[in-house]
Structure 1
Amino acid sequence: MTDTPPAPPSTTPPDGSDRTLPRLVRDTLPFALDVAIEVAKNNGVCIRPIELRRLDTHTGTSESFNIPCGATQEAKCPPCANRNRQLRRAQCREGWHLDHEPIAEPHPSTEDQRWLIEFRADVQAKRDEAERDGEDTLDWDEAIAGIDAEINAAGMRGNVLGGRSAPKRSRSTRRRQDAPDLPKRAKQDTTLGRTFIASDGKVYRPSLFVTLTLPSYGRVRNSVPVNPSTYDYAAAARDALHFSKLVDRFLIDRSRRCVVRPARLSQSSSHAR
């Protein structure tokens, strides 16, 4: 009589919805949500997406979509934190820490762009001829405006007539007469940051990261105010409209009225006031 060899263990995983499974077996089954988070991390997808809702004011229909959370801490969202880290590295490597002036020269024109310019010149000549004959040039002006829009859409900036199409804005930076004069830095025609040489000959180029935080307008959940009656809609709209101007003014004031003094340099880090 020969012994029957034991059957090989089953490779089919147990059914996670079977409530009759022993508790010890159920505890060894991974959670579906944990697996989904692990797959998202492996593929660089945000694990804490923010759900927004888009409303079409013409049809009244709405749809929801997700955007990345944009977290900078790996404990909250590793994919977003890694994406932000790579972005900062690229900014430092390609912008803030450049050791030579960037050269931005226009690309050579294409055949389609040259054809648009020639076509615009022909239409302009016919428009001028109609004006000399005393004819109405409204249709020609509309055609020229359409061609100018096509010229910009084709990857060209400015206009063929030269000059500014909009009046130049002038902003005053005058200060109060009773306030003391603040120190100013001399203007330099360069975009490179200042470098400092340590005692061992190593060159440092300090960088400064500034975070500007706006005040809260009220509690928000899923991009919707929790209490619409107390939410400051006017301040939110005002800051959204003028935020770029505020940042621009902040940078201009700080760059014009500051003095950079090198502090003690070490082999590990360098700072600038």
Structure 2
Amino acid sequence: MYQTTIKKSVELVGIGLHKGSPVKLRLEPLEAESGIVFYRSDVDVSIPLVPENVVDTKMATVIGKDGYVISTIEHLLSAVYAYGIDNLRVVVDADEVPVMDGSSASYCMLLDEAEVVELDKPKRIMRIKKEIEIKEGDKYVKLSPAKDLSYDFTIKFPHPVIQEQAYVLKFTKQSYKEEISRARTFGFLHEVQYLRSKGLALGGSLENAVVLDEKKILNPEGLRYDDEFVRHKILDAIGDMSLIGMNFIGNYEAFAGSHDLNHKLTLELLKDPENYEVIELVGEELRELEKAYA
């Protein structure tokens, strides 16, 4: 199994969630061993996707370098990671990635248009060897050894529409596209009003998020899945875990997980080489992984 990139450059324009301004995004092929690299064309700054470049995780995963940042990268990265793409240049002309419809479906369509192609270097996979957990109060995120990749997420909100939801994704690219990619980000009306008073979430609307007041969903079309909220949390987690730098084999589990906890989990994983091994798959494992990303 070989490293991948995209066959051709593709681009789109969408609204930035926080500034509310149009953002042009372009995906470009990169050669093997390049990794995922973000580039801000407006200030001529490249920001490699590595954990040490994460500068904020309060409301989204934000990377930065030399005082310049790119925000809300997790939905795009979720799709890139689900497609098994190892090498890619992401060019934006602003400080955030377009929010599109609040899910990763638009990015899946963009990657389908770009086409995934193999390069001439073996693909590296991380196998989780030890259980690693980050816990804060009753919230936790955890990685544990497994023979395949799965995401097991539970959320609990004191809201009549959400309450407690749990979902387990047995990962394949196809299951991701069908079960996860269309799940939108969500927020509460009082939070949106507060953020806007601070000059944030100016691009947020019912077109790119599920918004709830104290009792109900405000979106006239309703939900895409009955449990869209927890499915979106899995979408976010897949994007956040891309900071590991490669696809992995193991089980991810969370209760009330967040961008911040996911970032701390990647740091905890990577700080001790005894937690994992980097492998090039052969035999049955290779065939199973090839099927997962087909």
- TM-score between both structures, scaled by the size of structure 1: 0.22
Structure of greater relative contact order (alpha carbons < 8 Å, 6+ residues apart): 2
Larger radius of gyration: 1
Q: Which has the higher helix share?
A: 1
Higher strand content, 1 or 2: 2
